[in-house]
Amino acid sequence: MVTSMAPRVESLASSGIQSIPKEYIRPQEELTSIGNVFDEEKKEEGPQVPTIDLREIDSEDTEVRERCRQELKKAAMEWGVMHLVNHGISDELMERVKKAGQKFFELSVEEKEKYANDQASGKIQGYGSKLANNASGQLEWEDYFFHLVYPEDKRDLSIWPQTPSDYTEVTSEYARQLRVLASKILSALSLCLGLEEGRLEKEVGGLEELLLQMKINYYPKCPQPELALGVEAHTDVSALTFILHNMVPGLQLFYEGKWITAKCVPNSIIMHIGDTIEILSNGKFKSILHRGLVNKEKVRISWAVFCEPPKEKIILKPLSETVTETEPPLFPPRTFAQHIQHKLFRKTRDGQSN
């Protein structure tokens, strides 16, 4: 069966349509919870995504260092998502990464098509739009660019954007610095679980095998944002996910039975705990359900970097230290590839992202 190519969402958005095609309209039960994201972001009442200041994570002072770790631990256990500030990556580098990605998306669709991926043939890196992979045949209001950015010897630079000319340089430097940050977080989370400092890093593949995959998500303006989603509700399969964005709100977290909109925190990196760490920690750290809203007024762009264990080499299961008689293992042993298949199977079977 040949899947017809979904039109690029950007082309749809710029065609002047007043109403969106039916395959982008969310099911009725979801529509009741989709509000105006700018109004949602202004809400001061109710729970807010925690902000974690990492300045003291390596402090010489044991007490200060421990306090920082405890804040990280609390956020990982209660939310599984947080704004990281003082994370060690310069504002200037983050701005350059954002500018380079934005410049790529400012190219014409024809120009971007030269980098098109071909999911049907398994070529997943490159420029693309979401194909329907759930029972309802639903599409999401986004285009994206996806590529592996670290380790450097596993990259395919031939599919990296040539325009702008500094894209490869700034994205590579950002990936290197993010990899250092990932190690720092994994060390702290290991200690929070009472494990040796290097344990989680080793369990997700270490420097050689942990893959950093970048997905630049491009959410065009949407004529009927109350009917669509940029990204449907899901949890990340990764170990950790780090996100930059262009300060346009959109990220929502499903917390204590309600959708909470994340505020835009300047110079922060949003970090999600993914399924991989949730499994290894036997559910002590949460992989939170989240989704992306779109709007009529502003294009939203986000830069998500997924830190993923190798697909087949490692069996993911709760670490023995996290399992007791009263806390039996919550997850069966699976490879990362099997975990992804399991999620896709559940999704196609019941039309849900869970």
Q: Residue 199's pLDDT is what?
A: 98
- The catalytic position among 147, 284, 286, 290 is 290
pLDDT, position 70: 97
Say whether 339 is catalytic. Answer: no
Considering only the top CATH level, what class is 24-308?
A: mainly beta
Instruction: List the catalytic residue out of 74, 99, 221, 234.
Output: 234
Distances (CA, A) of 144 to 210, 256, 332: 22, 30, 33
- CA angle, 149 as apex, 143 and 151 as ends, to 5°? 155
Q: How high is the pLDDT of residue 7? A: 77
The H-or-E segment that residue 69 falls in is helix 62-78
Q: How far apart are CA 92 and CA 202, in angstroms?
A: 31
Q: Is 147 a catalytic residue?
A: no
| Cis status, amide bond into 151, omega within 30 of 0 | yes
pLDDT of residue 350: 54
Taking 50 as the pLDDT cut, the residues of the chain under it are 1-4, 351-354
Q: What angle do CA 315, 319, 324 make, to 5 degrees?
A: 135
Catalytic residue among 184, 215, 263, 298: 215
Taking the model in full, what pTM does it have? 0.95
User: Considering 236, 284, 286, 317, which one is annotated as catalytic?
Assistant: 236
The whole-number pLDDT of residue 132 equals 64
Using alpha carbons, select from 283, 210, 202, 198 the residue that is nearest to residue 240.
Answer: 210
Specify whether the CB–CB gap between 203 and 240 falls below 8 A. Answer: no
